[in-house]
A and B are shown apart, each in its own frame.
Chain A
Amino acid sequence: MRSEILRSTPFRLTVIFGVTFFAALAIAGLIAFGLIERELSQRMDRSITDAFNVISQSFGDSDLTDLTDTVRSHATATLDHDRVYALIDASGAVLAGNVARAPLATGWMTLSSPALGLIAKNDEGQYRVFLGDVGGTRLLIGASFAETTEIARLTLTSVGWASAAILILLLATGAIIAIRAQRRIDGIAVTMARVGHGELGARIPVGARGDDIDMLARQVNVALDRLASLVEGMRQVSVNIAHDLKTPLNRLAITVEAAVEADLKRGPVAPLLEQAEVEIKQLNSTFDALLRIAQIEAGARRARFVQVQLADVLDKIADVYSDVAEESEQTLTVSHEDDLPPIEGDRDLLVQLCANLVENSIRYSPAETQIELLAVRSGDSVLVTFDDNGPGIPIEERSKVFQRLYRIDQSRTRPGNGLGLSLVKAVAELHGAHIDLGDNDPGLRVSIWFPISANK
């Protein structure tokens, strides 16, 4: 669990964010430290200058004693040599003050405590010192860096502590976020494992936050819904197949039984066997159609796609089926725009798609029905419409007629295997075409949009 949290994305993000923040804080601290140091040393210089001016003014009446007293009183008021004062005569001897020695130069300088004859008490014992001439003597005013160093140390320490606190806070937050995210991800993993074990109803709990994990969970749930309905569809198909094939198998068994009986009684056997043969042929063609649809759906056929002119396919359908329609006292008219662009496809399958739809219209419509095929260009597609003014398909049945072996109640009594439209759909989908069942008021209108070949 611990290593899982360390590897989790939220925790890693928090660590990266924390380290970056820490670095930023360190840089900011250093900059602040530099600014403070500069400000402090300027202030120190100003206060030394101020003290020098105050003390040197006490020499206003040219009285060396006053000056000596002032220096002495300042020196005694100073504890721990925080500040140093000295009055030095021309020979270099210290007349008054709290230092033992003084340099001979004048002006600003930084001195260590031994240079002033002092025993270092503070860190490095550095002093900022100003020496100036006052009435034939030199006045030394200085201040220890101890205070500045102390302030700097305080600044650094507080920045350090603040950083540490922030870092700990960040890591803790990261861990909490990581654990919570991990818990939600574990929820997804558990659900997927359940689905993997066949529990297709399992869904990932979706929070109200609507964040990325919730969105992902929702998408996975949608995919699971689709998967479940597909599996349910497949189950339905298997049940339908078993059901639809049991009936003819039963008839076959009865027929064969009857043939055996007839043979025992020396009666005619051939008609019964012929009947059995018809049943077998029908069963076989149902299996063939099922296999064919499965193969088309597998999509391997796409490798053999060539450019196909839908106009040619439609002309062929007109050629073959106008007589067939006429035989059932219906009319078939086929028309298409000139110069229709080609599509990528499989000619044999497209012919079968059109044949299936036209045959459906012929078989399920009464005499006098008008069947019309039309192909036009529509944007990036070639739109082929199959219209008839026959009975049509009730609106509530339209989504179901593409299912394998599904048959509308009115058509159940007629021969047919309930696979014609399934194959139409499989072929349309293989070609990336969109298919729609609509109303022709009255009758059925099937519209199929085939995408135009890209490499024209």
Chain B
Amino acid sequence: MPLRLHRQASAEVAAPPGRHHWSNTKDTHDMRVLVVEDDKRTSDYVRQGLVEAGHIVDALADGREALAHAGKVSFDVIVVDRMLPGLDGLSLVKGLRASGTTTPILFLTAINGVDDRVEGLESGGDDYLVKPFAFSELLARLNALGRRPPAQVEKTTLVVADLELDLVRRSCRRADLSIDLLPREFALLEYLMRNQSRVVTRTMLLEQVWDFHFDPQTSVVETHISRLRAKIDKPFTAALIHTVRHIGYSMHA
């Protein structure tokens, strides 16, 4: 019996992983996040994790309230659960978009339906995450969403330390040495460099680089990363692509 109590207690006080070795400590610009989730436990977990990662969080449980609140306060990113009381997630996002809100929105859902992702994106969502999710996955995605550069200031050259990627001429140089990349390697490197200093997860790479919306049973991501490393890291002294254990990769000097 005491054992059982102990388990319960530990479950309740379990703090979500916050500022760990993989969180983006270098990126000091904190975000203001609105979390709309009616399940209190999930909401607390997400809020606490985000606060520990240095973000400011407003948490709401009702869709209608969220619509009103998002109209008054400006957020960097919004997390919306698909199933909400008052106003469901899809309608909330449609409402936000109709009122001119361009804030990036991430959907949370309990079902990984084939159509649900498409529906979510069609309603105006920017990303999609299926429960149960790892907090690290959510944080990585929110970082990628909330820090997206505005479309008009798209860079034509991406730079990480001495690595340069010219998006117009489709060329790559490191330490003044030209590196030949296959188109698939170029696409992967471009995504990593656009999200430099942030963690990108395996699933993010699968979705964004290869447009794969399922979990491959072979080491697709690892293989392509290792091919890329062989070209841009191996011949040089300092590695730029870093593995973040259990989560994904991060590109920085």
Give chain A's interface residues, CB within 8 Å of chain B: 260, 263, 274, 277, 280, 284-285, 288, 291-292, 295-296, 300-301, 304, 316, 319-321, 323-324, 327, 348-349, 351-352, 355-356, 359, 362-363, 415-416, 420
Chain B residues, Cβ within 8 Å of A352: 212-214
How many angstroms from the CA of A363 to the CA of B226 in the assembled complex? 19
Within 8 Å by CB of B3, from A260, A296, A304, A416, lies A260
3 tightest A-B CB contacts, nearest first: A288-B112, A324-B223, A359-B218
Pair A349/B114 contact, Cβ less than 8 Å = yes
Distance (whole angstroms) from the CB of A264 to the closest CB of chain B: 8
What residue of chain A has the Cβ atom nearest to residue B119's Cβ?
A304
Chain A residues, Cβ within 8 Å of B219: 324, 327
**Given A301-B114, A301-B115, are A285 and B215 neighbors across the interface (CB < 8 Å)?**
yes
Pair B115/A300 contact, Cβ less than 8 Å = yes
Pair A260/B118 contact, Cβ less than 8 Å = no
Distance (whole angstroms) from the CB of B136 to the closest CB of chain A: 11
Distance (whole angstroms) from the CB of B135 to the closest CB of chain A: 12
Chain B residues, Cβ within 8 Å of A362: 218
Distance (whole angstroms) from the CB of A162 to the closest CB of chain B: 73
Chain B residues, Cβ within 8 Å of A351: 211-212
Pair B114/A320 contact, Cβ less than 8 Å = no
A-B Cβ contacts below 8 A, count: 72
Report if B97 contacts A (CB, 8 A).
Answer: no
Pair A296/B216 contact, Cβ less than 8 Å = no
How many angstroms from the CA of A307 to the CA of B212 in the assembled complex? 19
Give chain B's interface residues, CB within 8 Å of chain A: 3, 6-7, 10, 111-115, 118, 130, 132, 134, 183-184, 210-220, 223-224, 226-227, 246
Distance (whole angstroms) from the CB of A92 to the closest CB of chain B: 114
28 contacts between A and B (CB under 8 A): A260-B7, A277-B134, A284-B132, A285-B215, A288-B112, A288-B215, A291-B111, A292-B112, A295-B113, A301-B115, A316-B210, A316-B211, A319-B184, A320-B210, A320-B224, A321-B220, A327-B219, A327-B223, A348-B213, A349-B114, A351-B212, A352-B212, A355-B212, A356-B217, A359-B216, A359-B217, A359-B218, A420-B217
* Apart from A323-B227, A327-B223: 19 A-B pairs, beta carbons within 8 A: A260-B6, A288-B215, A291-B113, A292-B113, A296-B114, A301-B115, A304-B118, A323-B224, A324-B218, A324-B219, A324-B220, A327-B219, A348-B114, A348-B211, A348-B213, A355-B212, A359-B217, A416-B217, A420-B217
**Given A274-B246, A295-B113, are A280 and B220 neighbors across the interface (CB < 8 Å)?**
no
Chain A residues, Cβ within 8 Å of B220: 320-321, 324
How many angstroms from the CA of A348 to the CA of B115 in the assembled complex? 11
How many angstroms from the CA of A189 to the CA of B217 in the assembled complex? 50
Chain A residues, Cβ within 8 Å of B183: 319
How many angstroms from the CA of A316 to the CA of B209 in the assembled complex? 11
Pair B112/A291 contact, Cβ less than 8 Å = yes
Pair B214/A355 contact, Cβ less than 8 Å = yes
Pair B115/A304 contact, Cβ less than 8 Å = yes
Chain B residues, Cβ within 8 Å of A292: 112-114, 214
Chain B residues, Cβ within 8 Å of A356: 217
Pair B114/A355 contact, Cβ less than 8 Å = no
**Given A260-B3, A355-B212, A355-B216, are A323 and B114 neighbors across the interface (CB < 8 Å)?**
no
Chain A residues, Cβ within 8 Å of B112: 288, 291-292
Most buried by A among B114, B184, B211, B219: B114
Pair A295/B115 contact, Cβ less than 8 Å = yes
How many angstroms from the CA of A284 to the CA of B130 in the assembled complex? 10
Chain A residues, Cβ within 8 Å of B216: 355, 359
Chain B residues, Cβ within 8 Å of A260: 3, 6-7
Chain A residues, Cβ within 8 Å of B3: 260
Distance (whole angstroms) from the CB of A330 to the closest CB of chain B: 11
Distance (whole angstroms) from the CB of A345 to the closest CB of chain B: 13
What residue of chain B has the Cβ atom nearest to residue A349's Cβ?
B114
**Given A324-B223, A327-B219, A359-B216, are A288 and B114 neighbors across the interface (CB < 8 Å)?**
no
Chain A residues, Cβ within 8 Å of B246: 274
How many angstroms from the CA of A362 to the CA of B219 in the assembled complex? 11
How many angstroms from the CA of A342 to the CA of B229 in the assembled complex? 37
Chain A residues, Cβ within 8 Å of B211: 316, 348, 351
Chain B residues, Cβ within 8 Å of A304: 115, 118
Distance (whole angstroms) from the CB of B7 to the closest CB of chain A: 6
How many angstroms from the CA of A355 to the CA of B32 in the assembled complex? 39
Distance (whole angstroms) from the CB of B134 to the closest CB of chain A: 8
What residue of chain B has the Cβ atom nearest to residue A419's Cβ?
B217
Distance (whole angstroms) from the CB of A290 to the closest CB of chain B: 11
Chain A residues, Cβ within 8 Å of B227: 323
How many angstroms from the CA of A260 to the CA of B219 in the assembled complex? 33
